[in-house]
Amino acid sequence: MPPVASVAVDLVVFTLREGVLHVLLVSRGIPPFEGRPALPGGFVLPAEGLDAAAMRELVEETGLTDLDAHLEQLRTYGDPGRDPRARVVSVAYLALAPGLPQPVAGSDVAEARWTPVERALRDELAFDHGQILTDGLERARAKLEYTSLATAFCPTEFTVSDLRQVYEAVWGRSLDPRNFHRKVTGTPGLLIDTGHTRSDGPGRPATLYRRGPATALNPPLTREA
Amino acid sequence: MPPVASVAVDLVVFTLREGVLHVLLVSRGIPPFEGRPALPGGFVLPAEGLDAAAMRELVEETGLTDLDAHLEQLRTYGDPGRDPRARVVSVAYLALAPGLPQPVAGSDVAEARWTPVERALRDELAFDHGQILTDGLERARAKLEYTSLATAFCPTEFTVSDLRQVYEAVWGRSLDPRNFHRKVTGTPGLLIDTGHTRSDGPGRPATLYRRGPATALNPPLTREA
DNA sequence: ATAATAGTGTCTTTTAGACAATATCAC
DNA sequence: GTGATATTGTCTAAAAGACACTATTAT
């Protein structure tokens, strides 16, 4: 008989709030790690696929649907002893969502809250969730370089400036607005001009774009230079 | 009580044999999918970590140790019904190894064999192993672009030409030997000159290199252009 | 000598990055 | 107008890709 384990999904959900990268954390109500912040997650149901379980947890915790958010598998964590109660193998997912007005609107998990990533990294998270968060952040940072993933942080219509602020928040550095504009508008299929503009305070109104079909950035944007 | 599942590891082991990319396959001796080719793998033991289980399977199937081969987690597959017998969640690993003279030297799994990837992709593999192989191949192809991963296919000492043939086999296209040489020898920390040379047939002897500490290729090599 | 492979140098094109200049708004 | 943001254009440096040329071997 093959050995068995419980299988869980844990979610690293990132969003931007006022230009700062936030991650969704819950507070554990029961031991172990009672009262400590943790990533949202839960067990996979017997007849449920992994992606479906992650999507279900995302909806339960944030109210977002798969139409709004990007969701991808991150990595699986299964060290014996990562959960002191039993052998639990956790499949971690990375989710990116546009800024949400309420922390968690009308959910039964009332203690879910958006936390600045900077602070979450310093906190002692439950289980190995600190490692999972670190891995998720690195994945997000890396994929901004060569994919259109940054648009997942934006609502349906957004400006080039919005998109640039995503990069600046996730990478923690500033980018030249002029070169960035030239780069993203020059990538075929990345942005679709809606014809509308948006005016925020002073300054020339910005063109509003929608996500285009392109998923790859080639050549990539680079973070270190 | 949380639901339970069996947890397995499956391995996508790539190597180069006479300039052709091969993957390690075994033949299933029992139903389901009896007689069909499958990726090597097995169940994770109760007190064993996922990486440790993958390493153990790699040693059992190939005789390679972690000193010889590169091993990294690929992705986890857990659709209900992927194994008709029971709920099995499989954590797939990608392994890259230098060319091995014997298919599997002195293993108890005598039916393991190297198969050209081109053919393995056409064969009907057991379970969802066709998808796992496709994902592993794409991961390997992608990581050659921006990491030093190609050196994992090479023995301790190798020439620039050896390294270029890795790229050509994995990407399925030819690269300009002169530009490739300039690129890899110009990347600091990628290659360490051993001082020796190697002469294969006619032509100027090639300098032998060892892997250097650099793991990133920046800027990357590109496959499509 | 000839063929073959290794390695260097040169040229053109593309792109990044710095930054000047222009456009269009709020005030 | 003044200040702010958006967008376009210009210049320079770095790198890719094409490819001539030199170096060193087997035969």
- Rounded mean pLDDT of A62-70? 82
Residue B34 pLDDT level (bands cut at 50, 70, 90):
very high
Closest CA to B114 of B224, B218, B13: B13
Per-residue pLDDT at A74? 98
Residue A224 pLDDT level (bands cut at 50, 70, 90):
confident
Mean pLDDT lowest among A71-75, B159-163, B201-205? B201-205
The radius of gyration computed from the CA coordinates of chain A, to the nearest angstrom, equals: 19
Per-residue pLDDT at A109? 53
Per-residue pLDDT at B225? 67
CATH number of B147-211: 1.10.10.10
C-alpha to C-alpha distance for B54 and B94, rounded to whole angstroms = 9
- Rounded mean pLDDT of A91-98? 96
Q: Which residues of A touch B215 (CB under 8 A)?
A: none
- Asked whether residue A201, judged by its CB, lies under 7 Å from any atom of the DNA or RNA strand D, the reply is yes
Q: What percent of chain A clears pLDDT 90, i.e. is strictly above it?
A: 84
Residue A216 pLDDT level (bands cut at 50, 70, 90):
very high
| pLDDT for residue B106 is more than 80 | no
Closest CA to B123 of B20, B26, B18: B26
Per-residue pLDDT at B61? 87
| pLDDT for residue A196 is more than 90 | yes
Domain-wise residue ranges, chain A: 6-145, 148-211
Q: Quickly name the fold that domain A148-211 has.
A: Arc Repressor Mutant, subunit A (1.10.10)
- Rounded mean pLDDT of A166-186? 96
Q: Which residues of A touch B73 (CB under 8 A)?
A: 75-76
Query: Nucleotides of chain D within 7 Å of a protein C-beta?
Result: 3-10, 15-21, 23-27
pTM above 0.85, yes or no: yes
Taking only the tens place, the pLDDT of each residue in B55-98 is 999 999 888 876 789 999 999 999 999 999 999 999 999 999 99
Q: Quickly name the fold that domain B6-145 has.
A: Nucleoside Triphosphate Pyrophosphohydrolase (3.90.79)
| pLDDT for residue B117 is more than 80 | yes
- Asked whether residue A207, judged by its CB, lies under 7 Å from any atom of the DNA or RNA strand D, the reply is yes
H-helix or E-strand containing A74?
strand A70-77
Which protein residue's Cα is closest to nucleotide C23 at C1'? A204
Mean pLDDT estimate for chain B: 93
Per-residue pLDDT at A219? 87
Read out DSSP for B55-97?
HHHHHHHH---TTT-EEEEEEEE--TTSSSSS-EEEEEEEEEE
In degrees, to the nearest 5, what angle opens at C-alpha A147 toward C-alphas A145 and A151? 100
Chain B residues near any Cβ of chain A (below 8 Å): 2-8, 43-50, 73, 75-80, 86-89, 91, 218-220, 222, 224
- Rounded mean pLDDT of A2-25? 95
- Interatomic separation, CA of residue B63 and C1' of nucleotide C2, rounded (Å): 45
CATH topology match: A6-145 vs A148-211: no
